Amino acid sequence: MEIEISSDKHLLHVNEIQQEMYDSAQRRGTGIAKRSIEYLTKKISEGNAVVATENGDWVGFCYIETWSHGQFVANSGLIVSPDYRNRGVATLIKNKVFQLSREKYPNAKVFGLTTGLAVMKINSDLGYKPVIYSELTQDEEFWNGCKNCVNYEILMKKERKNCLCTAMLFVPENNDKVNGIEIKQSEIDCYNGEKESNLSV
């Protein structure tokens, strides 16, 4: 399995990635905001995403967004192909995109909104802490991105103070060093679940 910073060579997977994002949200009945083909294509082409593949097949994906003039960074859209879930792939992808975020935006706060317990566990291991929504970016464009989420009505009824998602935040100055674990080839080779058996997105 290869876990790489995205480039144009990964564009052939964009339709499948978008469809799985949508299908996963429908199955779970919880929020993964739908993104357009054009939006995902831009993220992939600009190297602002991480793509996992195996033997030419798409395995997993996650991308970077910046908000409030680079003060905040979000690792969004974490998704793993159904055929590769429960094998620890999500951990490897999330760690890689976290490293990429820290390299590109070392002074930015890194945040996430998620309903998934597995993602919360990954975020916690990387040094994220649960926070209230007011601690996140207040960039209107970010919150407008929630309009495609099935839970948007709940968010607005709560006046953007909370929703079904848990907010988590990594603050660089609160961490002596980057908490991301370096991805070793041996870990990728063992992604079939010998080390992490219960993670899925």
Band of pLDDT at residue 32, cut at 50, 70 and 90: low
Q: Where are the domains of the chain?
A: 2-173
pLDDT tens string 99-152: 999 999 999 999 999 888 888 999 999 999 999 999 999 999 899 888 878 888
Q: Are 99 and 86 in contact (CB under 8 A)?
A: no
150 vs 85: which has the higher pLDDT: 85
**pLDDT at residue 41 above 50?**
yes
Q: Tell whether pTM > 0.75.
A: yes
Is CATH 3.40.630.30 correct for 2-173?
A: yes
State residue 134's pLDDT score: 95
Q: What's the average model confidence in pLDDT over 8-29?
A: 87
Section 74-89 average pLDDT: 91
The pLDDT value recorded for residue 148 is 76
pLDDT at 196: 39
Q: How confident is the model at residue 181 (pLDDT cuts 50, 70, 90)?
A: very low
